[in-house]
Structure 1
Amino acid sequence: MTSEDLELLLDRLESYYDAVPRNGARAEDFGPLTLFVREGAGWPFYARPTRGGSGAVTAADVARVRSRQRELGIPESFEWVAESAPTLRAAAEEAGLVVREHPLMVLDATVSVPAADKLSDGPSIRTVAPDDPALASALVVPHLAFAEPGTGVGQAGLPELAEAVRTRAGDGSVESAVARIEAGLTTVAAAVEDGTALCAGQHQPVGTVSEIVGVGTLPAARRRGLGLAVTAALVADARSRGVETVFLSAGDEDVARIYGRLGFHRVATALIAEPE
């Protein structure tokens, strides 16, 4: 990829990053930063560099947004691409936040991704319809996965998943997901066994670009190829919808190597800044 191609790609991703939250959040203007505040149930959003802004961000800018986030009772979280907003990292760190790096990866458009059912044994790998009984567990299982990061087999299993589903019942997340699925804003895919999602993730198309997000496997069910299979199912669905650019942010280098098996390659670095 030439430097010009990379610049065009990153600009395309910046347009995507700005567009996606606007389907379910209001945008509050803080000059060089925009805070997205989710309206309704679902994952909380974040602040990020303002699309088309000057790009120069100071610690005072970050502090203003953090104050507003605390006022709203939402996470003090900032997300951006290092190469697209080079001044934000220093500003975030000066403001007292911890910055974590994640490989930003794009799928090679020429690569033929294996069928999802060829990548794992056992569970059914499928996109989840609005009326699928597995939808509730598909929305919850990534939370348990991210609570025990890494690729090794962990502690949380089916009892913890069942309890988490019960705890979240009635919080509006299922209804919100159903509305987004029906509107074509989100696709959920899952590895389902005995009616329960052991692994799940989503992609969120905007035009010809889509990001794969929230792929997580129940810690006790890891090392079975489920994450790779769910990702392949999401890629297949995205391509069936005319998506040309499929990308994701890997949790770490170990996870990035797994995605590399499907044809994803690193193009930049995604950064997340939060309090320690």
Structure 2
Amino acid sequence: MTSDDHVPDSPLLDEIERYYDAVPRNAARTEDFGALTLFVRKGDTGWQYYARPTLGHTGPAATAEDVRRVLERQRELGAPEAFEWVAERNPELRAAVEAAGLTVHEHPLLVLGPRDEPAPAPVLPEHVEVRVLTADAPELAEAIAVPDLAFGAPGTAIGAAGAAELAEKVARLTAEGGTARIAQRITDGLTVQAAALDAGTVVCSGQYNPVGAVGEVVGVGTLPSARRRGLGLAVTAALVAHARANGVRTVFLSASDEDVARIYRRAGFHGFATALIAEPAGTPEPAEAREPAATRA
């Protein structure tokens, strides 16, 4: 943690843990492994889930053998061999997953709490518009595709991917049903999608997923050719403003690294904990520590 970060407090961690347990349940069923809970997607399409520490578990901590049991079940299901948790809440789990042969990635967890004021949205050129999209917005497919391209070229440097790559990605995601899935989540109130449009084309987008008074910002990504224009900050500000206007008081997110975390601190977020993801050795480190419940961005 940096000097501007807050020391994790138990009520906030409790709130985030309840959120993490609740948010997959609209699209996944659970399997009980004692100290661990495996979330398994319903049906054959949509986001593949992970295992997490069991909410409210009071028995013995998870062991390497418990982790291996979950891994075996994930292999049976054809699901990713993945675990996610908050280091400050379940510090003992790291040793267990590493003993089971997994590699752990660390990601800053940042929050904008009920008493925190978000920073003002950045000023953008007149031809750039940021707005929250409806389920039937014609720009929705582009908004879903842009983060896919963004996280395919991690970092903040300007990249080559632009309009041609965006059109190709839109066609693929639409054919695979990704656009329809997000549209349904928007209709159901499970996801809020915001986008920055430059001359009518989406150049940055992101989501937040609300559960009661808590929401997680996920999948904020800028088209690589449009980076370093303040678009990610503008989209994040729009998501936070929408969340606050609709009763979400605690907004949090996980960043891929400290460079990205610094961008979110400019939006008013502060660090409070560390998100951990465990996967088999050799698995590429994800560009985002946590990703949308409906789509990986």
- Same topology, TM > 0.5: yes
Count of residue pairs the alignment pairs up = 274
TM-score, normalisation: structure 2: 0.87
| Residue 177 in structure 1 maps to residue 194 in structure 2 | no
Gaps of 5+ in 1: none
User: Larger helix proportion, structure 1 or 2?
Assistant: 1
1:219 to partner: Cα distance: 1.4
Task: Find the aligned partners of 1:38 and 1:85 in 2 and give their Cα distance.
Answer: 24
| Residue 85 in structure 1 maps to residue 90 in structure 2 | yes
1:2 to partner: Cα distance: 8.5
For residue 49 of structure 1, the aligned residue among 25, 49, 53 is 53
Pairs within 5 Å for 1:159-178: 159-178=164-183
1:38 to partner: Cα distance: 2.1
Post-superposition Cα deviations, 1:62-114, rounded to whole Å, max 9, x if no partner, equal 22222222222222121110011111111111112111111111114344435
Q: What's 1:252 paired with?
A: 257
For residue 217 of structure 2, the aligned residue among 212, 215, 225 is 212
The residue type paired with residue 40 of structure 2 is V
For residue 248 of structure 2, the aligned residue among 236, 243, 248 is 243
C-alpha contact (below 8 Å) 2:173/2:179 kept by paired residues: no
For residue 11 of structure 1, the aligned residue among 11, 14, 37 is 14
Give aligned-pair identity as a percent. Answer: 60
For residue 264 of structure 1, the aligned residue among 230, 244, 269 is 269
Task: Find the aligned partners of 1:140 and 1:232 in 2 and give their Cα distance.
Answer: 20
1:266 to partner: Cα distance: 0.5
Pairs within 5 Å for 1:1-276: 6-39=9-42, 41-53=45-57, 54=59, 56-114=61-119, 116=121, 118-121=122-125, 122-275=127-280, 276=282
C-alpha contact (below 8 Å) 1:55/1:85 kept by paired residues: no
Q: Secondary structure at the match of 1:16?
A: helix
RMSD: 1.9
Task: Find the aligned partners of 2:64 and 2:200 in 1 and give their Cα distance.
Answer: 48
Gaps of 5+ in 2: 283-297
| Closer/same/farther in 2, CA of residues 59 and 15 from structure 1, 3 Å limit | same
Moved more, 240-249 or 52-61: 52-61
TM-score, normalisation: structure 1: 0.93
C-alpha contact (below 8 Å) 2:112/2:118 kept by paired residues: no
| Closer/same/farther in 2, CA of residues 55 and 258 from structure 1, 3 Å limit | farther
C-alpha contact (below 8 Å) 2:113/2:249 kept by paired residues: no
Post-superposition Cα deviations, 1:151-202, rounded to whole Å, max 9, x if no partner, equal 1112322211111111222322222212211111110011123443211111
